[in-house]
Amino acid sequence: MTKFLPLIAVLALSGCATSQTTYLNNGEQGLAIDCSGEANSWATCYEKADASCAGTGYRIVGTDGTPATKESDKTLGVDVGNYKNRSVVVVCK
C-alpha cells in the first residue's frame, strides 16, 4: 500500500480540464470549460478549448476565476492554500 501512496498523491494533485455543452441566452451552443485547481492554469483552459473545437478555432464568450492574490497576502512569496477557480465559455467556429 505504501508503494501506491505517492501515485495517489500525484494523481490527486494533477489536474485536468473538464468541459460540457452549454447553451447561451441567444440559443447558440457553447462549451463550458472548468480548469480549476492549483495544477491547472488559464493555458489549460485554452488548450482544452482548442482540442474540443477540433482545430477549427473558438471565440471566448466569458471567463470567470479567482482574482490573483496580492503579494502582501502571500506566504514567503507563494500563494499557499488558496483554491484557484477558473472557467471559460467558448463557442467553436
CB 46 within 8 A of CB 89: no
Reported as a single tens digit per residue, the pLDDT across 35-77 is: 988 788 888 999 999 999 987 999 999 999 866 666 666 666 6
Q: Please report where in the chains the cell 492554500 appears, as a residue.
A: 81
Give the pLDDT score at 13. 43
The cell for 31 is 462549451
What pTM did the predictor assign?
Answer: 0.69
Give the pLDDT score at 68. 60
Give the SS3 label for residue 11: helix
The answer to whether residue 4 scores a pLDDT higher than 60 is no
Q: Could you write out the DSSP letters of every residue in 18-64?
A: EEEEEE-TTS-EEEEEE--STT--HHHHHHHHHHHTTTS-EEEEEEE
